Amino acid sequence: MAAAPLLSLQDISLTFGGTQLLERAELIVSPGQRIALVGRNGSGKSTLLRIAAGEVGHDSGQRFVEPSATLRYLPQEPDLSAYATTLAYVEAGLAPGDDPHRARYLLESLGLSGEESPRNLSGGEGRRAALARVLAPRPDVLLLDEPTNHLDLPAIEWLQSELDSLRSAMVLISHDRRFLSDLSRSTVWLDRGITRRLDRSFSAFEAWRDEVLEQEEKERHKLDRQIVREEHWLRYGVTARRKRNVRRLENLSTLRRERREQRGVIGNVSMTASAGRTSGALVAEAERVNKAYGVRPIVRDLNLRVLRGDRLGIVGPNGAGKTTLIKLLTGLMAPDSGTVKLGSALEMAMLDQGRARLDPETRLRDALTGGGSDTLQINGQPKHVVGYMKDWLFTPEQANTPIGKLSGGERARVALARALSLPSNLLVLDEPTNDLDLETLDLLEEMVADYPGTVIVVSHDRDFLDRVATSVLMSEGEGRWTEYAGGYSDMVAQRGGGVSARAAAVTRDAPKTAAAAPQPAPAARRKLSFKDKHALETLPAEIEKLEAEIKALNDALADGNLYARDPNAFATKSKALADAESRRAAAEDRWLELEMLREELEG
How far is 190 from 177, CA to CA, in rounded Å?
A: 16
pLDDT, tens digit (0-9, with 9 covering 90-100), for 34-78: 999 998 877 889 999 999 999 999 999 999 999 999 999 999 889
Residues 194 and 53 placed together within one structural domain of the fold: yes
3-state class (DSSP) for residue 562: helix
**Separation between Cα atoms, residue 316 and residue 458, nearest integer Å:** 9
The answer to the question of residue 268 being in a domain is no
Same domain, residue pair 314 and 448: yes
Examine residue 63 and state whether it is found in any structural domain, yes or no. Answer: yes
Residue 510 predicted with pLDDT over 50: no
* pLDDT above 70 for 261: no
Q: Is residue 277 part of a domain?
A: no
Structural domain includes residue 273: no
Residues present in the chain in total: 603
**CATH number of the structural domain spanning residue 158:** 3.40.50.300
Strand partners, 472: 313, 484
pLDDT over threshold 70, residue 602 = no
pLDDT at residue 512, as a whole number: 36
What's residue 179's pLDDT?
94
* Whether residues 494 and 590 fall in one domain: no
Distance between CA 452 and CA 279 in Å, rounded?
10
Interatomic CA distance for residues 355 and 364, integer angstroms: 14
CA distance 376 to 367: 11
The mean predicted confidence, pLDDT, of the chain is: 82
Name the domain count of the chain: 4
What is the structure's pLDDT at 513? 36
Helix H or strand E encompassing 63: strand 60-65
Least confident of 264-273, 302-311, 337-346: 264-273
Residue at 520 is within a domain: no
Alpha carbon distance 448, 276 (integer Å): 15
If pLDDT is split at 50, 70 and 90, which confidence band does 523 have? Answer: very low
Instruction: Assess contact for 24 and 12: CB atoms under 8 A.
Output: yes
Residues 211 and 221: their CA atoms lie apart, in Å, by: 15
Q: Are residues 348 and 219 in the same domain?
A: no
* pLDDT computed for residue 483 by the predictor: 93
- Does 84 have pLDDT greater than 80? yes
Q: Do both 540 and 451 map to the same domain?
A: no
Rounded CA gap, 44 and 54, in Å?
A: 15
Helix (H) or strand (E) holding 551: helix 530-557
26, 11 Cβ separation under 8 angstroms: yes
The answer to the question of residue 562 being in a domain is: yes
Whether residues 223 and 328 fall in one domain: no
Strands (E), 439-523: 454-458, 471-477, 480-485
Instruction: Give the domain CATH number at 534.
Output: 1.10.287.380
Of 84-93, 251-260, 369-378, 516-525, the poorest mean pLDDT is in 516-525
Domain boundary among 477, 509, 541: 509
Report yes or no on 269 lying in a domain.
no
- Mean pLDDT calculated for residue range 509-520: 37
Same domain for 489 and 413: yes
Which helix (H) or strand (E) is 327 found in, with range?
Answer: helix 322-329
Do 103 and 183 belong to one domain? yes
Dump strand ranges (E) for 466-529. Answer: 471-477, 480-485
Give the lowest-confidence range in 28-37, 99-108, 255-264: 255-264
Output DSSP code: residue 2.
P
Statement: residue 558 has pLDDT above 70: yes
Q: Which of 29-33, 228-232, 349-353, 466-470 has the lowest mean pLDDT?
A: 228-232
54 phi-psi bin (left φ>0, alpha ψ -120 to 50, beta other): left
Looking at the fold, whether 115 and 188 belong to one and the same domain comes out as: yes
CA distance 319 to 509: 25
Domain annotation covers residue 163: yes
- Domain range for 539: 527-602
Q: How far apart, in whole angstroms, are the C-alpha atoms of residue 304 and residue 284?
A: 8
537 pLDDT tier (thresholds 50, 70, 90): confident
pLDDT higher than 50, residue 14 = yes
Instruction: Map residue 291 onto helix, strand or coil.
Output: strand
pLDDT of residue 241: 47
Q: Are residues 305 and 396 in the same domain?
A: yes
Q: What pLDDT sits at residue 387?
A: 86
Residues sharing a CB contact under 8 Å with residue 379, sequence separation 6 or more, in sequence order: 272, 274, 275
Predicted pLDDT of residue 530: 63
> Do 158 and 45 have their domain in common?
yes
Span 497-506, pLDDT tens digits: 666 543 333 3
In this predicted model, what pLDDT tens digit does every residue of 112-121 receive, in sequence order? Answer: 999 999 888 8
Q: Which of 338, 323, 336, 316 is nearest to 477 (CA)?
A: 316
Per the model's pLDDT, the better-predicted residue between 521 and 307 turns out to be 307
d(CA 315, CA 321): 10
321-341 pLDDT, tens digit each:
898 999 999 999 999 999 999
- Structure confidence at residue 603 as a pLDDT band (50, 70, 90): low
* Residue 290 sits in the same domain as residue 396: yes
Q: How far apart are CA 463 and CA 205, in angstroms?
A: 15
Residue 288 belongs to what H/E stretch? Answer: strand 282-293
